[in-house]
Structure 1
């Protein structure tokens, strides 16, 4: 039975009203409307055809919440499920608004999780593959955007295809002419999203390890042009420290050197400087003996003293939230060094820099 799109839009509009009584009435109306399975298809139509982006986002949110449990999805007929899936794959391409696209992808991720439990959503992966293998750079960028947002929400959906996608990630990183491009950023973000799944596959971890020099190059390039994205890329190295520190060992020296270079640069974003310091602290707590062997502790301690000696116009820096400014991060790094090193190792280094 067809459900009128105008009526569904009216209900969604009332749900966005700043009036609790109106919202309660609209919620009851929506609950009643959703007893008709065809309302789910009508909500998809709202996503694709409404002139109001807020209604599109809300329609996607309603579908995601209502279909989050697998039983709710499986209670729809196979015909309706297929119709919804096809509808969403077409809409994600046609939708011009980035925020609406993100909401649609979150919905797709939920449905993909359900579908992969009973087999495979072959059309979804074929769709992604067609994007990332396209000769059209805009389509490839869109494909990287799709993977990033799906893996943001439900990374497990990539587990059965992890080798294929990691091969694509590495190829993308190595072949990109502009390492500050959105394709590269989306690729590194996606790698971070699925890194916990990767530790079970030796060849994948090896690929991650081999990508580290390129990731460092990207972070340095983004440090002056887009520090927020640089911070996000730093997260991959932090995740590798947490889940597979062994993959970083061949690259610890350049990692610490790049982190120190950024930490000591007073001309860049403070959050990025803190990321550099915090990564050094993490490595010290995990692999202090390697740092001693590589003769990296002396320059690190000198750098931390330099940061702690920086002049600041803000006399309340020490009251700021933990770790969000370079001075407090440097203090924590020094604490890590003192905790992890024996006095016989730490004191001579400390005396030499005083």
Structure 2
């Protein structure tokens, strides 16, 4: 506690956690719980911060052993979450994340009562340490996966926070990808909640806006590949979330909203807007296949062919990607348009060949 170096104090706290994993099981270390309580309730900020950090470390390796004292910890956390100007709030959220899979009916009400304060703390972290904010949002993932009942009463503001983060271009990619990925995950998990609470329109609108934004990997279209999940750019994450929307939400609810964005974007003349439109229709091709085949295929193929002939490389590549997705998911109907598609593709391939020949001769 009196160690002046924070790195040393943190190392000691981690060592305490390893010992606690073995000693608390047999009840051999009652002084540790007394120490934690004393530190967490201290009026001295560094002591309070250390106490919460010890709880976060011990709960990560010996959460089961602390479970009998969870209600008391939750009561203490109500005050440490208010300390948003110090790391105490962040470490409190870490501890809550560790405890989340262990919460039973007897502690559910107390745990749920802390979630509004968690949201406030994360908003504060966004202005100070985006990496900590992103790590704190792991709590939402754990609750959705393990104890979604804990999250449901506060799911609407959690989703709104993620929508706000995803659309804030002043924030870094890590925290934005974290927010966007959660939106896709919760759509797969709670599609009825999304529909009942009329969240399809704001969700699709937010993802389309991100899809239309500039990305460092635009030149090589890296956002079109890769595995689903976190990582990559916000554009890639938004594409995956649109895919989740198409797979889990009714097409008659999803497509009208999406097409209201796609049509003006295709007519805008702005390459990134057009790219976003092609990316969006490409990512919903699998989930909305039947509706697209029967109601939208011909006009969309015309738009795609127009994009393939564009002089802008980003637009061309985006249109080609959309055509590839359509060819994979909209069979056999798309084959009927071979007379329209093949000349466009052959012309494109001829241009690519001529360009490569010219480069070699230069």
TM over 0.5: yes
The answer (yes or no) to whether the contact 2:25–2:65 under 8 Å persists in 1 is no
Of residues 68, 71, 93, the one that matches 1:188 is 93
Counterparts of 2:186 and 2:107 in 1: how far apart (Å)? 22
The answer (yes or no) to whether the contact 2:112–2:151 under 8 Å persists in 1 is yes
- How far the C-alpha of 1:298 sits from its partner, in A, is 0.7
Q: 1:311 to 1:113 in 2, by over 3 A?
A: closer
- How far the C-alpha of 1:139 sits from its partner, in A, is 1.6
- The two structures have a TM-score, normalised by structure 1, of 0.68
- The DSSP-based 3-state class of the residue aligned with 2:154 is helix
Counterparts of 2:54 and 2:257 in 1: how far apart (Å)? 49
CA displacement 1:25-81 (0-9 Å, x = unmatched): xxxxxxxxxxxxxxxxxxxxxxxxxxxxxxxxxxxxxxxxxxxxxxxxxxxxxxxxx
* Superposition map of 1:218-233 within 5 A: 218-233=121-136
Of residues 189, 210, 213, the one that matches 1:286 is 189
Q: 1:105 to 1:136 in 2, by over 3 A?
A: closer
Aligned length: 257
The answer (yes or no) to whether the contact 1:102–1:149 under 8 Å persists in 2 is no
Tell me what 2:68 maps to: 160
Of residues 272, 275, 280, the one that matches 2:178 is 275
Tell me what 1:301 maps to: 204
Tell me what 2:285 maps to: none
- The DSSP-based 3-state class of the residue aligned with 2:153 is helix
- How far the C-alpha of 1:192 sits from its partner, in A, is 0.8
Of residues 250, 255, 276, the one that matches 2:158 is 255
Q: 1:222 to 1:107 in 2, by over 3 A?
A: closer
Counterparts of 2:85 and 2:58 in 1: how far apart (Å)? 22
The answer (yes or no) to whether the contact 2:78–2:114 under 8 Å persists in 1 is yes
| Residue segments in structure 2 that go unaligned for 5+ positions in a row | 263-362
Counterparts of 2:134 and 2:240 in 1: how far apart (Å)? 19
| Residue segments in structure 1 that go unaligned for 5+ positions in a row | 1-92
- How far the C-alpha of 1:236 sits from its partner, in A, is 1.1
Tell me what 1:311 maps to: 214
- The DSSP-based 3-state class of the residue aligned with 1:194 is helix
Tell me what 2:273 maps to: none
Of residues 66, 74, 84, the one that matches 1:179 is 84
Aligned-pair Cα RMSD in Å: 2.0
Counterparts of 1:352 and 1:343 in 2: how far apart (Å)? 14
Tell me what 1:337 maps to: 245
Of residues 20, 24, 30, the one that matches 1:122 is 30
Counterparts of 2:230 and 2:13 in 1: how far apart (Å)? 33
- The two structures have a TM-score, normalised by structure 2, of 0.66
